[in-house]
Amino acid sequence: MVNSTHLGVYGVVIKDDKILLVKKARGAYTGQYDLPGGSFEHGEKPIETLKREFMEEAGINVTKANIIDANSVVVPWDNPYIGQMDNMHHIGIIYEILSYEGTIKEDADGLDSLGACWYPIADLKEEDVSPLTYDALKLKKLKR
């Protein structure tokens, strides 16, 4: 087993008791729903990563966002890219998206998502979503 670290930036958008999520097509969360977001490109600031990832995965331009959390989880998974178990330390900077422009695109980004859609929060179960997503939902409920 190897130990790896993944650092990403993610955004929470809630509207009419629904949350904007993407279904993962690859990686440790394949088949689960996840917050839109992802890894930094070299030299990017967190807000730049957030905006780029939201455009890529959801087709919207984030115009206002605030950091609401920084969290981490350890996720063991059978990583096909290295051919063995990976004890991934996933670190996420979580933003609340306060405003955006554009229309949500529901088709895949061609990379690791199967498209973005609104999902009723009440219908989501812990096993349906990535751990960082589940923790972000709990945090949002506490703040209401």
Q: Report the C-alpha gap between 105 and 60 in whole angstroms.
A: 8
Query: For 101-123, what is the mean pLDDT?
Result: 81
pLDDT of 139: 77
Query: For 113-127, what is the mean pLDDT?
Result: 89
pLDDT of 131: 95
Per the CB < 8 A criterion, the answer to whether 8 and 39 are in contact is yes
pLDDT of 87: 97
Half-sphere exposure of 48 (CA within 13 A, CB side): 6
Of 97, 76, 90, 69, the closest CA to residue 13 belongs to: 97
Flag whether the pTM goes above 0.75. Answer: yes
Please report the domains of the chain, with CATH numbers, ordered by start residue.
2-122+130-143 (3.90.79.10)
